[in-house]
Each structure stands twice: as structure tokens, then as C-alpha cells.
Structure 1
């Protein structure tokens, strides 16, 4: 009888068999693998189900790219997995957002930093300038020199691992910048009472000569509190276009961090001592 039941189970079509529960990281690894995944649709929902109808994301990615999945966050009902693609030349990152549906994890949405394709042509143009052209550029852009703009564009379009490396190499200057902003009390609660107060505090912080010098040295565009919808966080913005930005966030109390979601705050990676790499979309 036991063998008969096993044979019957194997004969039943897939939907009538029990769905094998997979964790978000396991689903991500299957979804980005270069081989196909016959059960893919059973682990997708919502937006992701409408996008991946016949092939997994992994089947659409050039097969020579190496894929690395990292669980960024997993709670009771949401999870985020970061995926790095790399070859001998470059790295790229995107983020898989999961939701729990009827007790099973499903891939909800796929996100990455938008419009970064605009960066490389601008980097190529700036990097190819002659010394005379660089001098002319610096004269016309006294607040954002050629060296800063080139470094900022490169950092904006860099992979997460490279941004983390930039932070690690310059941690002392990042901490010095943080202390300067905190000492100035530009974003104190009294300033946060209204939009005008927040804007004035932000303007004053970025106009501080010592702050401005460090921002430029670290290839940061500005310090603000308005990119991640976190009233208690300090955001050191690298750059971006429209509402899709990347930067470094400081919040020493993890409980006060804003939640990740596919509609705005697409990833938050810990860098240590209250610092995080963040991206919005």
C-alpha cells in the first residue's frame, strides 16, 4: 500500500501536490540561476508574476555572469534579497522583495537603482577632457569641480561592494563629517517642526565650509533628511535621478530605521556602527 500511495503522489499533477516551502534566499537563488525552474510560477505573486511569465530572471541574464545572493532582511511577512551580478569587468546589483502569502514566501517585486545608464557616457566625457578643458570646467563650476563631479558620477554608478569599500577606506572622514553635522544641530527636532525649518536647516548644513569640504572630498552631493522618509536619520546623498537615489545613511538605533519596500526604500545594507548603504526608487 505504501508503494501504491507513493506512485499515486508522483502521478498527480504539480498543483495537486504539496508546495515545497522555500525561504526567500532559496527562491532568489533558484530565480537567478542560469538554468530553468519549472516550479517558478508557484513562488511568484503580484508584480513579479506578471513580469516573469515564461523565463526566470536568471535565464534572461547573460550566462557568463556570476550571481551572488545575500539575504538583507527577513521579518515575519517581508524579506529582501540582494543579488550581485559580476564578470571580470563590472558588477551590478538588484533587489528581490518578498511577501508571505498564506504562510508561503512569494517573490513580489524586482528593483534596482534607476537611470544609472546615464552615468558612463558622462564619466567617459569628463575623463577624456584635456588639462585646458578641465581648467575651463573648474572655472565655470566653482562649486562642483571636475574632480568632484567625475568621482561622484563614478560612485553613483558603482556596485554596492564598491560603495561599501569607499566608505571603509574613508571611514575616518565620514565620522568627522557626521560629528560636524551633529554639532551644528542643523536637524534638531525644533527645526523639524515644519517643511521650511527642515529646508533651512539642510541649507545651513550644506553651506557650512567644513561640511562642504568633506562632502566634496567624499564625493557626496549633500546631507539631508528628506530622501528616505526617516525623520531621525541623517542621509549623505551620493546622487541619482528624480526619486531614485543612492547614499549613506546614519541611524545608530536599528529600531528607528524605515522599513524597506519596493515602492520607495528598496534596500538598506549595514556597514557597521550605525551606518548603512541605502537606495530609493
Structure 2
């Protein structure tokens, strides 16, 4: 899997926070972590969730991401000094420890393009969950075909960068019909200087059926399937596939009725 420069190049990583503010998903996961002693944030990116959680002081937080440029931003943010940051690939991470909660949000699961890579990530989750620990991750619903909206005409937007000022941003997109992999181009033009930054990012759109198969193979079980962070059901027209669960065999009778 080739390193995506959108995250690995510091010149591009600097736009991540301008594009991604605190979301319903992060708040949902924050509530899940309320009773946890330890949390692993896989694909933590610039560390907003991990650092915010650590500042609350209720649990020990570990953030892992393969991109050094993202982790540099994470370490520098408020609360960053309270998190254990690890530069690591979610497919291969092995810490010989277990966590109460593991989160993989922001559609990070979609950067794993093949079934083998997706299976490896879920094995990482399974190997780091405590008995009765919980996991949650999200992926866009392929049935909605959201990528069709990622055209230059439909994606035009203006961002505000704390140092560079106004940024004109847009996307372009292509899709490989055989693999289902979508490649989207991100463009950022600084209005003041005219400088243009760009990157191409391939992502997968696994179906719910595949995710269910992969969970079973990894020794995990879903306790709920949501179609959005507003807790709508996971239906064919829902924008998201959000799966929460635990280790197989870890369910108590009360937990088995969830979702």
C-alpha cells in the first residue's frame, strides 16, 4: 500500500484540521469511552479525539498512525503531551497489551484497499481488546455511491487555514469498476499566494456483507450496525456503515441484546 501524501506530506497534512472539525462521530466515541480505563485510537490522524479524551483525565489514551506528519500535529496540539503516540500501521501493530475501547474512525478503514489488508486490521483490533472490551469503526456505504459527488463542480469549498488564510478546495474522482476502489484527488489553492497543493487518495468501499465475514474470521462479533452517527439504522440508503462490537464469546446476556 503506497503512502498517501495527503497524510504523509507535511505540506498537505496541514490542511486536515481545516477540513475536519469535531464531528458527531467523535462525540459518540467520547461517550463510549466514558467508563473506560484505556483507549486505543487506531488511525488517530492529527489526534483531536485522542488529545481531547486524554485531557478529560478519565483514561489512558494511545494514538497510532503511520503518518509522521499527522503525528507531529497531534503531539503539538493541546493535550497532546498526555497521549502515548505511536507511528504504526494498523495492519501490523502489536503491543502485547489490551484496551477497553478501540476506535478507528474518520473512514480510516477505507484506506485498506484489499480484503487481506482489511482482515489484518481487524486481527489487530481483536488482538488488542480486553475481554468484554469494545471496538467501533466506520466506512461509507457503497450503495449510496457518495463518490459521484466528488467532482470539481460539486465539491468546491473555501477553508480557513490558521496561517495561510483562505483556501480554495475541491476534488476530482475516478473509480475502478473491477476492484471498486475509488481514487479521489484533493486540491488546495492558497488565495493569497496562488500556490496549489494536491494529492491522489485511493480508498475502498467494502460492503456490509464483507465486513460481517471479516469480523467473524477475526474472532469479532458485531453488537450494532448503524447507518450514521445519529444512530439511524444501517439501511441501503444510509450514508455510513458503523459497526460496534466485541470479541466472540465475550458477550454477556445483557450485552447480546444491544442494537
Pair in the same fold by TM > 0.5: no
Considering Cα pairs closer than 8 Å and 6+ residues apart, tell me whether 1 or 2 has the greater RCO. Answer: 2
More strand by share: 2
How does the TM-score come out when normalised to structure 2? 0.21
More helix by share: 1
